[in-house]
Structure 1
Amino acid sequence: MTRLDFPTYLDHVRLESARFREALTDCDPQARVPACPDWDAADLVWHLAEVQWFWAHTVRTRPSAPDESAVRPARPTTYSELLTHFDSCSADLVAQLEAADPTEPAWSWAPEQTVGFTYRRQAHEALIHRLDAEQAAGAVTPLDPSLAADGVAELLEVMYGGQAPPWGRFEPSEHLVRIELTDVATDLWVRPGLFFGTNPESGKNHDSAHLVLTDPGEASATVSGRSVDLDTWLWKRRDDGDLTVSGDRAAYDALLAAVSTPLD
């Protein structure tokens, strides 16, 4: 499939975090982030610093779930202090991952409960927020196709899809959609559907679009494009103007419903 090895994921955490920092170093702190219009550049720095602090803490305290009472860093008051705080959080995340075996058990919010989940997830978190940073600064550079291809797979199997909670049920539709990554000669197959259930903790009923990554078959529709274009489209960072859609429009609409939730 699209999986990279763990040293490569770690290299990307380093590289994309450094590019994120570079793009924002001389950026106007009040510059808007196009994909997250409620954020300015300073908010973006704080967001990724918080994310990287949390996952460094999670790896450090593995395999226990994060302590909700743990004291989190306070947001610095100046932009330069924000950047310095990000540097510290990012360096700590890299250090914690370097010191851990990816196969070791560690908490995550997903079915995969290993340190390796954090390797992969944080490589993609850094990549997409590097793009946010460059869009805010008005200086977008190319994304790595192999990481973007794996990002498409991660979005479909983890972020938008994957295992439904045990307190509900997934009802697949008759539609099968092929996602064709034209630049890496890889196809992914997803089946959209609906998830139903009542969350036992909140008591709230859920009725939402969902999808699962599945085996190849006769597709109702095909969405084709370069890995970077597919990855950024699924992340709501770019539109579908560079993609080609063919087949049953209803199947494509079912896919769109399943990937409609914005991701920060």
Structure 2
Amino acid sequence: MTGRALIDHDRLLDVLVAEGELMADTADGARPDLPIPSKPTSTLADTVRHVGGVFRMVAARLRGGNGPVRWESEPPPGGALVEFLRGGLHELVDELAAHPADEVCTTWWTLDQTYGFWRRRMAHEATIHRVDLQSATHTEVFTVDDDVAVDGVDEALTLWFAHRLSVIGVSGSSEFKVAVRSGGRVWLVTSHGDNKAAWRASPADTKSAQATVTGEPMTVYLWLWGRLPFTAVRITGDMDAVAALWALLRLATH
């Protein structure tokens, strides 16, 4: 498999399509000023604009190579927000579907410079913000298949925690080693000054961990992204170590 994903990239493209359309369906007819529960300063309209803009920006980046692109975060005058989202989704999916997942392209992660990176990243972008919209509209928050959620756990830890924090220049004063267990997999997550790391581990590797976070895949996935409260997962061991991990994740994924 290309890149770093745990599941097939064609599957991730299907997830992007389904989640993007579900976002649009959820937003259609809903009050645009509804607050997002996990981020009360943001509204449903803010989220739709953000995701529609991200879809367009990535599609333009893929078409144009390395050069900077303009962030298009508003529909044209008189345009509807939901159609802005759907149009961006279709534009992005068409661009991603036109290239094999292992074809080289520019990304912001040196470990995966392929179209597969963007299939994965945009699938999880759409899923997390679909959860935001369903939470805001007080409708049922749908789960995803366990293997998709496990891939989301992996992305949150190995991309956002281990890489994104260094990009934004966050060091953090706490040192810790925490194990995260879900869906039959385990990850070790460490912080030491400027050095942040997360990797897929074996159960034996967790013996040195100060604490362990455990939960069902969808629960851990949403917990890592701050869409569930701190207490939503099972925590054993050093609570302060997990709290430090949680705080850093909020900076990485805000």
Band the TM-score falls in, shorter-chain normalisation = 0.7 to 0.9
- The question of whether the paired residues in 1 share the 8 Å contact of 2:224 and 2:246 is answered with no
- Please give the alpha-carbon distance, in whole angstroms, between the structure 1 residues aligned to 2:242 and 2:191: 9
Tell whether the 8 Å contact from 1:148 to 1:231 is kept in structure 2 after alignment: yes
Long gaps (5+) in structure 1: 197-209
Counterpart amino acid of residue 177 in structure 2: L
What residue is the counterpart of 1:225 in the other structure? 215
- The residue that corresponds to 1:154 in the other structure is 155
- Paired with 2:200 and 2:89, the residues of 1 have a C-alpha distance of 35
Q: Deviations over 1:222-264 (max 9, x none)?
A: 1111111111111111113331111123432332343231635
Superposed displacement of residue 170, structure 1? 7.9
Tell me: CA distance 1:41–1:247, structure 2 relative to 1, closer, same or farther (3 Å).
same
CA gap of 1:187–1:99, structure 2 versus 1, over 3 A, is: same
Distance (Å, rounded) in 1 between the aligned partners of 2:117 and 2:133: 24
Counterpart in 1 of 2:193?
Answer: 194
Structure 2 counterpart of 1:228, one-letter code? M
Asked if 1:244 is matched to 2:227, the reply is no
* TM-score, normalising length: structure 1: 0.82
Give the whole-Å Cα distance in 1 for the aligned partners of 2:136 and 2:164: 34
Provide closer, same or farther for how the CA distance between residues 27 and 174 of structure 1 changes in structure 2, counting only shifts above 3 A.
closer
Which residue in 1 is equivalent to 2:249? 259
Distance in 2, Cα, partners of 1:239 & 1:88: 33
Partners of 2:221 and 2:74 in 1: CA distance: 32
Q: Deviations over 1:13-32 (max 9, x none)?
A: 00000111111112111111
User: In structure 2, how many angstroms separate the alpha carbons of the residues matched to 1:211 and 1:115?
Assistant: 24
Structure-2 change in CA distance of 1:13 and 1:255 (3 Å): same
User: Which of the pair has more CA radius of gyration?
Assistant: 1
Equivalent residue, structure 2, for 1:204: none
Tell me the SS of whatever aligns to 1:49: helix
Q: Quick one: distance in 2 between partners of 1:221 and 1:130?
A: 31
**AA partner of residue 46 (structure 1):** R
1:212 equivalenced with 2:198 (yes/no): yes
The alignment of Structure 1 onto Structure 2 pairs a total of residues equal to 244
Q: How does 1:1-40 map to 2 (within 5 A)?
A: 3-40=6-43
Q: 8 Å contact 2:52–2:85 — kept in the other structure?
A: yes
Aligned AA (1:108): T
Unaligned 5+ residue runs, structure 2? none
Choose 249-258 or 151-160, whichever is displaced more. 249-258
Describe the shift of the 1:108–1:254 C-alpha distance in structure 2 as closer, same or farther (beyond 3 A).
same
Structure 1 residues 164, 236: closer, same or farther in 2, change over 3 A? closer
**Equivalent residue letter for 1:212:** A
CA contact (8 A) 2:211 2:241 kept: yes
Q: Percent identity?
A: 26
Closer, same or farther: CA 73–188 of 1 in aligned 2, 3 Å: closer
Aligned to 2:107, what secondary structure does the other structure show? coil
> Cα distance, 1:113 vs. partner?
1.5
2: CA distance between counterparts of 1:260 and 1:85? 28
Runs of 4 or more, structure 1, over 6 Å off, are 168-174
User: Cα distance 1:175–1:26, how it changes in 2: closer, same or farther (>3 A)?
Assistant: same
1:65-104 paired onto structure 2 within 5 Å: 65-68=66-69, 70=70, 72=72, 74-77=74-77, 81-104=80-103
**Structure 1, residues 197-236: CA drift from partner, whole Å, max 9, x if none?**
xxxxxxxxxxxxx443364241221111111111111111
Whole-angstrom CA distance in 2 between matches of 1:71 and 1:233 = 29
User: Between Structure 1 and Structure 2, which shows a larger proportion of helix residues?
Assistant: 2
Partner of 2:47: 44
Deviation track 1:162-195 (CA, whole Å, cap 9, x = no partner) reads 38859x99899874321111xx211111112221
